[in-house]
Amino acid sequence: MKITDTSDLWWKSAIVYCLDVETFMDSDGDGTGDMQGLAQRIDYLAQLGVTCLWLMPFYPTPDRDDGYDITDFYGVDPRLGNHGELVEVIRTANDRGMRVIVDLVVNHTSDRHPWFLKAKRSVNSPYRDYYVWRDDPPPRGQKNTVFPGEAKGIWTKDEASGQWYQHSFYEHQPDLNIANPAVRDELARVIGFWLQLGVAGFRVDAVPFFLEMPQGARIPDPHELLRDFRRFLQRRSSEAILLGEVNLPYDQQVQYFGGPEVNELSMQFDFIGMQAFYLSLARKDPAPLIEALTSRPVLPEDVQWANFLRNHDELTLDKLSDAEREEVFSAFAPDEGQRVYGRGITRRLPPMLGDPRRIRMAYSLLFTLPGTPVLFYGEEIGMGENAEIPGRLAVRTPMQWTGEKNGGFSSAPPSRLVARPPGDGYAPEHVNAADQIKDRESLLHFFRDLMSRYRISPELGWGAFQALEQPVPAILVHSLSADVGRLVAIHNFDEVPATTRFALPDEPGGTCLVDLLGSERIELDEKGGVEIEVPGYGYRWLRVARPGDGRVS
C-alpha cells in the first residue's frame, strides 16, 4: 500500500527563506534586529510566498563567528529577545502557513561555553572529554583550516595543561567529541528541546566535520550516530527534518542521506549544482549545469536537494577546477577584494550579474531546478553587498525595508547598527521592499509570481529532470515530470534572442503548453514539436496540459 500526499513530505515542495534575526528588523531601536521585529515582518514573508523560515543562530554567543560560536545551546541571545518572543515568532509563522527550522551548530561550541571553561580548568573534569585533545604538537602537513588567512591550523595549545585541542574552524570554536556518549546525550536533549518549542527541524551545520571521529575512537561507523539523531528526531516529531550542510562530491554526499533506508539527513544543499550554475552563467552556456544535474545521484522519494544561489557564507567555488574557478572569478569577482579564502566570492548575486533580465533569468531557473529552493533574505528585492565590509560579512547587512534612514531596519544612530547597509547603487534609497511592493514590475513582485507558481507546481519539487534536445547552445530547455504533472522550462543564458525548437514526442495528441508566467497557450504539432522565440536572458515556464487533465493552469 502506498498512501503519500505531497504534503506529507512538505520539504519536497517548500520554499525556504534564511534570515538572521540580528539583521532582519530592529523593534526597539538599539541597532540590532530582534525577535519582536521579526514577528512584525512575518506577514511580509507570508505574502511573498515563503513556506519555511530558517533562522540562523540566535543563541547566546560572544559573536566572533556571527553566532556560529555558541555558549548555550538552549538559550536565546538576550540582545535578540527571549524564549517567549521566539515562541511568538513560531506561532505567528505557523498561523501564516510557514514552518520554522533553526540552525543546529553542534560540531563545536564557543571557547566560552561553560563546558569548555570547565574542561580547561581541570584535566580530570568530566567535561574534559567533551572535546578533542592531543598530547603532542600536531604533525607537519596537518589538515588545513577551513578559513585560510583567518585561522592557523586546526589544533591550538592549551597553555595550562600543555595539551592541544582540535578546532575544525576558528580557534575559539573547539570541536565537540562526538565519540563521547555523554556529548551525544546532550545533543539529543538540545534537539528535543527545540522540537518541543515548536520548530519543524534543523539546518545542521558542518555535518562532515561533526561526524569526523577523533583518532582512536572506537566507533565503527560514524554515520550510525547521525542515524541515531534522526531516529530520535522522528520519534519526537514525525514531520521534522534535518537539512544538512554537506559540501562534498556527490558520491560522498549521497551517503549522508543514509542509503535506501533514507535514515540520515532529509535534505542537503546542492553545492555542486550551485557551483556549476555559476560556471554556466559565466560561460553563457548551460552545459556545466546540465552535467551536474544529470550526475546527481538519484534519490529515494523521501529526501530532497535544496537549491540555492546565495547563502550567508562566501559563494564557494571550491569544487570547480582551478581554471573553472578563474573563469567565474574573472566574470563575477574581478577584484581580489571580492574574493576570500582563495575559493569564494563575497558578493551578492545582483551586483555580479548586473543586467536585471539576467538576474530574473537566474532566479527563474533556480525555482525550476529539481528540488526545493532556498533564499537568503534580501534576494527577493535584489540587495547588494556592502563592499566596504571585508570577508563573509559583506552580504550580512540589514534587510532594506524602506528608502529611509538605515533602510527602515532600525531607528538607532547609524554608528550603532549591527552592520551598515551598502552606500552605493544598492543603498536602501535605491533598493528597498516598500518601493517594490508598490511597483507591479519590481523584482519583489517577480519573486511573488515565481513563488506562487512554484507552489501550484509540485512537479518542480518531485519531478525527474530531463534536458530536452534543442539547437541553441545558450538555451536550456528542461522538463520535470512527476505523477502530479509535467512542466517545461526555457532559459536563455545569453543576451542574444534566439529561436528554440524541441519536441515532447511521448505526450498524447492535443497536448498544449500553458505559459504559467504569462497567458499564452501553445499547441504542439502532430509530432509533439514546438518552436518558441526566446528573448535575451528570457525565461518561460510551460505547463504540459494534456487533454482533459483538469488543471486550471
Q: Comparing C-alpha atoms, which of 133, 68, 56, 59 is closest to residue 102?
A: 56
DSSP structural state of residue 69:
S
Q: Comparing C-alpha atoms, which of 465, 502, 458, 461 is closest to residue 480?
A: 465
Rounded CA separation 309/349 (Å): 8
Please select the residue that binds ligand GLC; options are 169, 329, 332, 376, rule is CB under 6 A: 169
Q: Which of 245, 314, 324, 379 is catalytic?
A: 245
For ligand GLC, the closer of residues 116 and 169 by Cβ is 169
Please select the residue that binds ligand GLC; options are 65, 212, 314, 380, rule is CB under 6 A: 65
- Using CB under 6 A as the binding rule, whether residue 101 contacts ligand GLC is answered as no
Is position 459 annotated as part of the catalytic site? no
Please identify which residue in the block is written with the cell numbers 513582485: 445
DSSP helix/strand/coil, 88: helix
- Using CB under 6 A as the binding rule, whether residue 395 contacts ligand GLC is answered as no
Helix axes 356-368, 443-455, angle to 10 degrees: 20
Give residue 97's identity as a one-letter amino acid code.
Answer: G
The grid coordinates of residue 234 equal 522522528
Q: How far is the CB of 244 from ligand GLC (least distance, A)?
A: 11
- Using CB under 6 A as the binding rule, whether residue 106 contacts ligand GLC is answered as no
- Using CB under 6 A as the binding rule, whether residue 59 contacts ligand GLC is answered as no
- Using CB under 6 A as the binding rule, whether residue 257 contacts ligand GLC is answered as no
- Using CB under 6 A as the binding rule, whether residue 22 contacts ligand GLC is answered as no
Task: Write the burial class of residue 469 (CB in 10 Å: 0-12 exposed, 13-18 middle, 19+ buried).
Answer: exposed
For ligand GLC, the closer of residues 205 and 494 by Cβ is 205
Q: Which of residues 415-444 bind ligand GLC (CB under 6 A)?
A: none
Please identify which residue in the block is written with the cell numbers 521534522: 240
Q: Which of residues 228-247 bind ligand GLC (CB under 6 A)?
A: 245
Beta carbons within 10 angstroms of residue 396's beta carbon: 22
Q: How far is the CB of 493 from ligand GLC (least distance, A)?
A: 29
The grid coordinates of residue 45 equal 514573508
For residue 372, report the phi and psi dihedrals to the nearest 5 degrees: -110, 125
CB 379 within 8 A of CB 444: no
Q: How far is the CB of 346 from ligand GLC (least distance, A)?
A: 13
Q: How far is the CB of 207 from ligand GLC (least distance, A)?
A: 10
For ligand GLC, the closer of residues 244 and 286 by Cβ is 244
CB 98 within 8 A of CB 53: yes
Q: Is the dihedral of CA 140, 144, 147, 148 positive or negative?
A: positive
Q: How far is the CB of 68 from ligand GLC (least distance, A)?
A: 3
Please select the residue that binds ligand GLC; options are 17, 59, 68, 308, rule is CB under 6 A: 68
Task: Spell out the residues 6+ positions from residue 513 whose beta carbon is closer than 8 angstroms to its own.
Answer: 488, 521, 522, 524, 530, 542, 543, 544, 545
For ligand GLC, the closer of residues 206 and 272 by Cβ is 206
Q: How far is the CB of 392 from ligand GLC (least distance, A)?
A: 7
CB 424 within 8 A of CB 432: no
For ligand GLC, the closer of residues 65 and 111 by Cβ is 65
DSSP helix/strand/coil, 375: strand
- Using CB under 6 A as the binding rule, whether residue 379 contacts ligand GLC is answered as no
For ligand GLC, the closer of residues 65 and 459 by Cβ is 65
Q: Could you give the C-alpha distances from 532 to 157, 433, 529, in angstroms and in order?
A: 65, 34, 10
Number of residue whose CB is nearest ligand GLC:
68
Is position 205 annotated as part of the catalytic site? yes
Q: Which of residues 292-331 bind ligand GLC (CB under 6 A)?
A: 313
Q: How many residues bind ligand GLC (CB under 6 A)?
A: 8
Rounded CA separation 310/375 (Å): 7
Q: Comparing C-alpha atoms, which of 482, 444, 445 is closest to residue 466?
A: 482
Q: How far is the CB of 56 from ligand GLC (least distance, A)?
A: 8
CB 58 within 8 A of CB 90: no
Q: Which of residues 183-212 bind ligand GLC (CB under 6 A)?
A: 205-206
For ligand GLC, the closer of residues 210 and 537 by Cβ is 210
Q: How far is the CB of 333 from ligand GLC (least distance, A)?
A: 19
Please select the residue that binds ligand GLC; options are 105, 200, 381, 444, rule is CB under 6 A: 105
For ligand GLC, the closer of residues 169 and 376 by Cβ is 169
Q: Which of 205, 264, 313, 379 is catalytic?
A: 205
Write out the residues near ligand GLC by the rule CB under 6 A.
65, 68, 105, 169, 205-206, 245, 313
Residues labelled catalytic: 205, 245
